[in-house]
Every structure is written in structure tokens, then in C-alpha cells.
Structure 1
Amino acid sequence: MSSLSVTDVTGKIVVSRGAAAAQTQIDLSQLASGVYFLKIESGKKVKTIKIIKE
């Protein structure tokens, strides 16, 4: 089981969900333009990816 969260530059969580599948989609269309961070946690592994929405 993995968990996904998207935060804005202030650290506020704007999207959070669990993900059981190897692939999943997150709809970011409702978010304003700007910089966000996608944090993926799977077991003891954590990966953070910077997203720039135009």
C-alpha cells in the first residue's frame, strides 16, 4: 500500500489519498497555477517530485 499527497509551497496538503495500484492518476485541474510537491510513500521509501502547473 502506498500513499500520495500533493502540497503547495506553504506545506498545505491539497490532495491526499491512498494508492493500492502500481499506477494511479491524480486530477490537478482544480488547482491554481503554481509549484506543488508530490510525495509518494511506499513502505519505508519516500519520493518527492516537484510539479509546476501552468
Structure 2
Amino acid sequence: MLRLSSNSSDYPQTTPQTPQSNPQTPPQTTPQTTSRSNPQIILKFLRLSSDYSSNSSV
């Protein structure tokens, strides 16, 4: 019973997480949208790519 109560309270918190799984959120995760909205993500991606290359070389 306690679990049910907890679930009820979690429901609203899980609702925002469900959209993430929905196909409506993917468009926001696309690199084209993110890069246009957050140019910093590109820098992070480039940095990650550089780190990956460095790690691969070692």
C-alpha cells in the first residue's frame, strides 16, 4: 500500500520523463536542433571526439 502511495506521487514526476521516450522529444535531441540551439554542445562534441582520438592513439 505504501508503494502505491509512492507511485502516485511519482506519477507526476515520471510524466515528464515519458515524453523523453516519446518520438516528440528525439527531434530536440537531434544534433541539428541542439547545435543550432546550443553551440556549446558542438564544442563539447568536438572535445569528446578529440579525446576519443587521443585515447585511440594511446
> Which TM-score applies when normalising by structure 2?
0.20
Larger Rg computed on CA atoms:
2
Higher relative contact order (CA 8 A, sep 6+): 1
Bigger share in helix: 2
Bigger share in strand: 1
